[in-house]
Structure 1
Amino acid sequence: MVILRQFQISSFELFQSPKQTGFYSSSRSVPLPRARFYSDFRVMSGNKGTNFEKLYLGMDFGTSGARFTVIDEQGEIKAQGKREYPPFMDIPVTVRSLVSSISLDGTSATTLILNSESGEVLCQPYLYNQSCPDALPEVKSIAPANHTVCSGTSTLCKLVSWWNTEVPNRESAVLLHQADWLLWLLHGRLGVSDYNNALKVGYDPESESYPSWLLNQPYSQLLPKVQAPGTSIGNLKESIRMQFGFPDDCIVCTGTTDSIAAFLAARATEPGKAVTSLGSTLAIKLLSTKRVDDARYGVYSHRLDDKWLVGGASNTGGAILRQLFSDEHLERLSQEINPMVASPLDYYPLQSSGERFPIADPNLAPRLLPRPESDVEYLHGILESIARIEGKGYKLLKELGATEAEEVLTAGGGAKNDKWIKIRQRVLGLPVKKAVHTEASYGASLLALKGANQNSGRKSSHHAWISSSLPLPRPYISFSPLLVPKSFSSVDESEQDEDNVSLVASFNEINDDGQEDWSDLTMVSMRENGRSSALELSAKEKRKLASYAHSLGDKLKSQLVGKSGVTDSVVLSFVETLEKNELLKVKIHRTCPGELEDMILRLEEATGSVSVGQIARTVILYRPSPTKLKGDEGKKRNEE
């Protein structure tokens, strides 16, 4: 009951909030005389270059944990990671300061009922696979035959079931899906959803409206406002921006369901391309020119621009595998399977009774017997049985009129099992391969990029917001127990050039078993062709900045690095100060661990700044503020 656990957390932390300890601050924000130092700096305007790269954050909240991906405008991953519940997102502080927009996905049909004024949760959440058979006859009496809502697990059935309990003040409630609720925590506007999540409450994405048969019901006032996925809702709440270090103009965009996000991540763009998401459950999505909906089989269609994503979600999948085998056993046993030989075992692997697709039967019992003595044979039989269920799903979609599947891309955790992919290819009789991007959080980050482009009036572009004048501030090296780097990898020393090497965040560590390990942050040293990764200032410019800093006296912001060293909280505080003032006096206490020069280097790398002056253990750091640079450029254009 993951989402129930989330509600037991008094303050749901989407991001890690460092404790503000280990530093001292003084004085007030001081404006920097900019005209003398910024004649060579340019800021993004239209399709021109920019000094700072804009990044886009996507988050995926699944049944077992949360993931995040940060991309640039070209779709290249800058940082990613995952956590089990209860989660927080340990996104590097200096990456947060560049995030232009945020979107996320959640499990389909996970339903919440809230007070429309206070946001208070009025009942226990209805989980994605929870059935409400008590409401099904009423829903079938008002909806067209075989409509998507005519299933006990539909959002509408959950709404009707709650409405019929006749709780007090039910008219003042509002319905949200999991993704809607999480986004509300970020933007603060209750009652906003997207047309992927709203499909199972009865919204018609083709007409872009709720149908009249639904609007005529007394509970229709609880329905959320619906927008296209990846549409800007508003700015990130000020309290969150201030607490976690996001820029003032960061926007929050409507999200989608987890399976749709996984499809978007796979970049399947032609009719006949399909994506099977092998997570805790099995979900298939097929890009079709024809819309197909049939609640008798749990089949429904999501809109994707001028095409349709036809598919369904089964209750079988990785969750039952985790219930029977440990991760270590799954990997070891899989290596012993011959994927070219069919298993004679025939199972229907479910954690409990009830199936949604390709059979819609709330009473369908799990079938996991007989169990052979060999664990290899048992696992082979289960993997093949899940592949057969997948095959039945694609066959059903074809019979119902959808475009025939030609190729299947694989997303989710199951995409890592090469033997399973070969089994599925044999069973399906189709080319099956792992998608380049397998995480739903990557699809959510694409929605964030889409929303940012629409919000600024730009069409989707593949030009990076990068300039050689100023670098992307470097991700910090964390020394907290949760973020200690496991390993460091660098390019060959003979190829390194001090001015062309930077630290970038990567979570794609490969462990000893050959699998991706995202449990901790890994810092990777990478060469960046033709672009300096350090803030380039001449000696003369540094002297001018140091002289100006000295002239400010006590007005210059001053902070301390204490005995704990360069901690997460210190980095966050320094970044916030540099964003406001651009100059910062840092006193490095004698109890600070490590050599003085190492501490200064770490501060520069962590905050994306450069030291412009030093007297003993006191250092002046400088980093231009993207916000102020934009303002200067805007004033300059207005004057022209």
Structure 2
Amino acid sequence: MEPRPADVIRVGIDLGTQSVRVLLADDGGRVLALGSAPLTSHRRSDAGRRHEQDPHQWWEAVGQASRQAFGALAPSQRTLPLGAVAVCSTSGTVLLGDERGAPLTPALMYDDARAVDELARLHDRLGETAVQLSWALPKIDWLFRHHTTTGLTGRYVAHSADVIAAALVGHRVDTDSSHALKSGYDVVARRWDERLLEAADVDPATLPAVVAPGATLGAVTPSAAEHTGIAAGTPVVAGMTDGCAAQIAAGALTPGSWNSVLGTTLVLKGVSSTLIDDPAGAVYSHRHPDGGWLPGGASNVGAGAVAGEFADDDLDALAAEAGRRFEPAGAVVYPLTARGERFPFVRPDATRFELGTTSSRAERYAAVVQGVAYVERLCFERLAELGADVGGEVSITGGATRSAYWNQLRADVLGRPLVLPSTPEPAFGMAVLASAGHRAGAAATVTQRAAAMVGRSAVVEPRADAHERLSAGYDRLVAELTRRGYLDPANALSSRNAS
């Protein structure tokens, strides 16, 4: 039977690091079209790792990707009305813009590390180190110090999603609480944190007002419509960060459910009815669009360790041999992709290490991917120690899910089924968000819309006895992390007891 024709099109825009993706979906979750356009980064390693992008290129890429998506619609779909547009972007990317929302400076990307002095000064003034270099707040301080010559008048803080929303609606926009989190926004009190702003020398008058994800920001202007193909008058609603967008796309929106994103690094995001308090700062929480909390954390362990070491290898062949011969591998690897760790513990001085030796490329591959899976298990156990509900469904997204072997290994190490969503695209998550509250008739929550739109492509069940067999390697990793002082012995003991 042919699927029911779409009656309303929802538009999701994902402003990523390497590309912009624009996705068009109907209210049943069917993807109607997808467009993309590349982005260029400018990186330098002098005076700290620098990573900039030209925000003017973002708008050009959004136009290209959007026109491509609308051009790919079936003829019968091109006259359908548009419901709303939502934009997601990387967390911690920030720039300065003018009173219209147009960019005045390059964008400092989430992994730009030049604001070392600003972060140290902020830490000295606060007497604690919860704010990290990946946050936008020290970057904002750096931007004003280096790009303001005549005071702060006419220069305002903007997150990358704000720039695109402003270009769509023709004026400076409010930001959403998700993007504002790492810029010094207190999600509990629902206001900018005066203590953080004062420590960072940031004038509150330069910051945007903050609204909830899904709040209406304006409507697409005729000039923006010509540039993007999105009809003039289409509502533009506040989005969320790309990690939250991926969580929505995975449908992980009910208490106890989690989305584990394994890309270059590992990111876990879940749902909690109560705020999870982590004094160490490894776990932070966004507000759930429907109420409650979205706790999560981001590790520096991830698939980047495989990409860096096995770029010239046949990964399918390595995986096949690893599955036959090396479970577990003879060595245990803590596969950091960069110096320092953010989750499940915060240690800027943490370094990659290896225990034991391997006899072949296949065994070494096995040791690396097992190491990532072990850290993923440790992350879940750390969340449980902090009081988070981790008993619900776990979905997995990210580039690493292309490996069936790795998906199976992760299910085995965790000892639980893993769900593969049908459309694990942050842009799809924004289409789901755009559909909530902007429907004919009664408004719906984001959770309700996700239940109606998000499907699953597969469920990976853990193999019998595999969890127990692989636990020996996990215990070795936990013991070494404890010996090095990265893990508290009490936490390490509870992790071993949980196994």
TM-score computed with the length of structure 1 as normaliser: 0.58
Determine if contact 1:96/1:245 at 8 Å carries over to the other structure.
Answer: no
Counterpart CA distance in 1 for 2:156 and 2:247 is 29
The structure richer in helix per residue is 2
Amino acid aligned to 1:390 = E
From 399, 417, 422, the counterpart of 1:431: 417
Q: Which residue of 2 aligns with 1:415?
A: 401
Counterpart CA distance in 2 for 1:57 and 1:351 is 34
Secondary structure of 2:163's counterpart equals helix
Q: Does 1:62 align with 2:45?
A: no
Over the aligned positions, Cα root-mean-square deviation in angstroms equals: 3.2
Q: Which residue of 1 aligns with 2:306?
A: 321
From 185, 188, 191, the counterpart of 1:206: 188
Counterpart CA distance in 2 for 1:428 and 1:348 is 17
Amino acid aligned to 1:435 = P
Closer, same or farther in 2 for the Cα pair 1:403/1:244, shift >3 Å?
Answer: closer
Closer, same or farther in 2 for the Cα pair 1:435/1:117, shift >3 Å?
Answer: closer
Give the CA deviation at 1:448.
Answer: 1.5
Give the CA deviation at 1:326.
Answer: 4.1
Counterpart CA distance in 1 for 2:187 and 2:345 is 25
Counterpart CA distance in 1 for 2:330 and 2:431 is 42
> Which piece of structure 1 moves more, 377-386 or 65-74?
65-74
Secondary structure of 1:59's counterpart equals strand
Determine if contact 2:253/2:270 at 8 Å carries over to the other structure.
Answer: no
From 233, 237, 242, the counterpart of 1:249: 233
Secondary structure of 2:271's counterpart equals strand
Q: Does 1:276 align with 2:260?
A: yes
Q: Which residue of 2 aligns with 1:494?
A: none
From 73, 89, 98, the counterpart of 1:115: 98
From 376, 387, 397, the counterpart of 2:362: 376
5 Å-filtered alignment, 1:131-142, equals 132-140=115-123
Give the CA deviation at 1:195.
Answer: 0.5
Amino acid aligned to 1:395 = E
Determine if contact 2:246/2:429 at 8 Å carries over to the other structure.
Answer: yes
Amino acid aligned to 1:169 = T
Counterpart CA distance in 2 for 1:263 and 1:156 is 24
Offset from partner CA, 1:8-66 (integer Å, 9 cap, x none): xxxxxxxxxxxxxxxxxxxxxxxxxxxxxxxxxxxxxxxxxx99821001122333333
Q: Which residue of 2 aligns with 1:79?
A: 33
Determine if contact 1:107/1:258 at 8 Å carries over to the other structure.
Answer: yes
Closer, same or farther in 2 for the Cα pair 1:73/1:406, shift >3 Å?
Answer: closer
Closer, same or farther in 2 for the Cα pair 1:83/1:379, shift >3 Å?
Answer: farther
From 125, 133, 136, the counterpart of 1:152: 133
Larger of the two Rg values belongs to structure: 1
Q: Percent identity?
A: 28
- For structure 1, the 5+ residue unaligned runs are 1-49, 464-640
Secondary structure of 1:442's counterpart equals helix
Give the CA deviation at 1:127.
Answer: 2.8
Determine if contact 1:230/1:448 at 8 Å carries over to the other structure.
Answer: yes
Offset from partner CA, 1:362-391 (integer Å, 9 cap, x none): 343344798845222222211111112212
Q: Which residue of 2 aligns with 1:91?
A: 69
Give the CA deviation at 1:253.
Answer: 1.6
Q: Which residue of 1 aligns with 2:480?
A: none
Give the CA deviation at 1:81.
Answer: 5.0
Closer, same or farther in 2 for the Cα pair 1:403/1:176, shift >3 Å?
Answer: same
Determine if contact 1:101/1:251 at 8 Å carries over to the other structure.
Answer: yes
Give the CA deviation at 1:218.
Answer: 4.8
How many pairs are equivalent?
410
Q: Which residue of 2 aligns with 1:233?
A: 217
Amino acid aligned to 1:409 = S
From 167, 171, 188, the counterpart of 2:170: 188
Determine if contact 1:126/1:158 at 8 Å carries over to the other structure.
Answer: no
Give the CA deviation at 1:247.
Answer: 2.0
Counterpart CA distance in 2 for 1:295 and 1:398 is 15
Offset from partner CA, 1:231-279 (integer Å, 9 cap, x none): 2211113112124433222122211111111111111233221110112
Give the CA deviation at 1:118.
Answer: 7.0
Determine if contact 1:107/1:128 at 8 Å carries over to the other structure.
Answer: no
Closer, same or farther in 2 for the Cα pair 1:445/1:130, shift >3 Å?
Answer: farther
Amino acid aligned to 2:134 = T
Secondary structure of 1:184's counterpart equals helix
Counterpart CA distance in 2 for 1:245 and 1:81 is 12
Determine if contact 2:95/2:143 at 8 Å carries over to the other structure.
Answer: no
Q: Which residue of 2 aligns with 1:534?
A: none
Counterpart CA distance in 2 for 1:211 and 1:390 is 32
Determine if contact 1:69/1:442 at 8 Å carries over to the other structure.
Answer: yes
Q: Does 1:448 align with 2:440?
A: no
Amino acid aligned to 1:134 = D
Structure possessing the higher relative contact order (Cα contacts under 8 Å, 6 or more residues apart)? 1
Counterpart CA distance in 2 for 1:328 and 1:58 is 35
Closer, same or farther in 2 for the Cα pair 1:256/1:328, shift >3 Å?
Answer: farther
Counterpart CA distance in 2 for 1:365 and 1:188 is 47
- For structure 2, the 5+ residue unaligned runs are 41-60, 450-499
Determine if contact 1:139/1:156 at 8 Å carries over to the other structure.
Answer: no
Counterpart CA distance in 1 for 2:285 and 2:6 is 40
Give the CA deviation at 1:439.
Answer: 1.7
Determine if contact 1:113/1:122 at 8 Å carries over to the other structure.
Answer: yes
Amino acid aligned to 1:341 = E
Closer, same or farther in 2 for the Cα pair 1:299/1:129, shift >3 Å?
Answer: farther
Q: Which residue of 1 aligns with 2:276?
A: 292
Counterpart CA distance in 2 for 1:430 and 1:141 is 43
Counterpart CA distance in 1 for 2:251 and 2:5 is 29
Amino acid aligned to 1:448 = A
